[in-house]
Amino acid sequence: MTDPTTDPFAEGCAWIEGEYVPIHEARIPILDTGFVRSDLTYDVVGVWQGRFFRLEDHLDRLLAGCQRIRLIPPRSREEIRAIMIETVRRSGLRDAYVEVVVTRGVPGQGERDPRKLSARLYAYAIPYVWIVRPELQERGTDVIVARDTRRIPPGSVDPTVKNFHWGDLVRGLFEAYDRDSLLPILPDGDGLVTEGPGFNVFALVDGVLRTPARGVLHGITRKTAIEIAEESGVEMRVEDLPVGSLYRATEIFLTSTAGGVIPVAHLDGAPVGTGAPGPVTSKIRDRYWELHTDPRLSEAVDYDS
Ligand SMILES: Cc1ncc(COP(=O)(O)O)c(C=O)c1O
């Protein structure tokens, strides 16, 4: 393990323009269109007990996202993978949050044509991030359905391309705080459930586990939860989920690389089911963490190399 008092990388390591630097020394060019225009895509991978979880799935999603928004990454898939692994190795972190960002790049003076730019890559590893702390997950978290904030429509920003257009998600967070809650679920303009700041949503309604089919990021944790449900004999449907059905749900949980499978205890101030994590949620949550040591889905970082 690294010592934060002696090792400048112990709080995290970034890769910026070909160099590995301590996280607090990492800088990006202020004119990068990723910063000034949110013109980018990114991905976040979890490292748990020294192992990357579903790294290949995250790379697939990152590269598919680049293609959809016409970004040509400046490095190959193999190089990006190696850079991500190296940020973790240098940090020494066993439980890490590893982000990789591909931006459109830095324009020449006065240049406004995105086709003329060369994409840039950034990557970093920092200590693992929890949307909801594990202690609170044991009891279940509190959420609201946002009333004043809708998710940005897919015809404006494609939610399957992981992005920094968080204006609606942050606005929803403030709405949750104003209503004495912790997290918002955002509806779309047709009254369907979408997602929230950094997570997908699942609800057990009439004994069937459901998660929205469209208008959402195809989360890797979502994918894992769907697979676990199917393997465990839980009836699972990926389909439109009207907001109204959430109020009939006996269990609700959120999924994210930043925190895993997160039980919801209260919706708009009222208990969901018994007001504690339900059996389907707990089973999927336990299995999710077990899979982090499964060599089919995880790969070890060689910290000694
Ligand atoms: C908007 C949004 N939805 C869903 C998710 C969950 O995706 P994953 O499980 O791949 O972390 C994220 C992750 O950051 C997100 O930003």
pLDDT digits (tens, 9 = 90+) for 79-107: 999 999 999 999 999 999 999 999 999 99
Handedness of CA 226, 231, 234, 240 (dihedral sign): positive
Contact by Cβ (8 Å): 165, 173? no
Same fold, 13-127 and 134-292: no
CA of 159 to the centre of ligand 1 (A): 10
From 58, 150, 173, 199, the mutation candidate for ligand 1 (largest count of ligand atoms within 8 A of CB) is 199
pLDDT at 88: 98
Which CATH number among 1.10.10.10, 3.30.70.260, 3.50.50.60, 3.30.470.10 corresponds to the domain 13-127? 3.30.470.10
From 52, 55, 217, the mutation candidate for ligand 1 (largest count of ligand atoms within 8 A of CB) is 217
Q: Tell me the mean pLDDT in the region 240-265.
A: 98
If 0-12 CB within 10 Å is exposed, 13-18 middle and 19+ buried, where does residue 156 land? Answer: exposed
pLDDT at 121: 98
Domain boundaries, the chain: 13-127, 134-292
pLDDT at 305: 85
Nearest CA to ligand 1 atom 7: 219
Res 179 pLDDT > 60: yes
Q: Tell me the mean pLDDT in the region 212-219.
A: 98
Nearest CA to ligand 1 atom 8: 219
The overall average pLDDT reported for the chain is: 97
For the Cβ of 195 lying below 6 angstroms from any atom of ligand 1, the answer is yes
CATH code of the domain made up of 134-292: 3.20.10.10
Q: Is 44 helix (H, G, I), strand (E, B) or coil?
A: strand
Report the atom number in ligand 1 closest to the C-alpha of 255: 9
pLDDT at 4: 64
Res 176 pLDDT > 90: yes
Nearest CA to ligand 1 atom 5: 199
Q: Alpha carbon of 292 to those of 53, 95, 236: distances in Å?
A: 6, 11, 22
CA distance 239 to 208: 11
Res 6 pLDDT > 90: no
CA of 111 to the centre of ligand 1 (A): 32
CA of 110 to the centre of ligand 1 (A): 34
**pLDDT band (50, 70, 90) for residue 272:** very high
* Residues whose CB is less than 8 angstroms from the CB of residue 135 and which lie 6 or more positions away in sequence, other chains included: none
Q: Tell me the mean pLDDT in the region 129-141.
A: 98
For the Cβ of 219 lying below 6 angstroms from any atom of ligand 1, the answer is yes
Res 2 pLDDT > 80: no
pLDDT digits (tens, 9 = 90+) for 20-57: 999 999 999 999 999 999 999 999 999 999 999 999 99
CA distance 241 to 195: 11
Q: Is 122 helix (H, G, I), strand (E, B) or coil?
A: strand
Nearest CA to ligand 1 atom 1: 198
CA of 200 to the centre of ligand 1 (A): 6
CA of 116 to the centre of ligand 1 (A): 30
pLDDT at 141: 98
For the Cβ of 99 lying below 6 angstroms from any atom of ligand 1, the answer is no
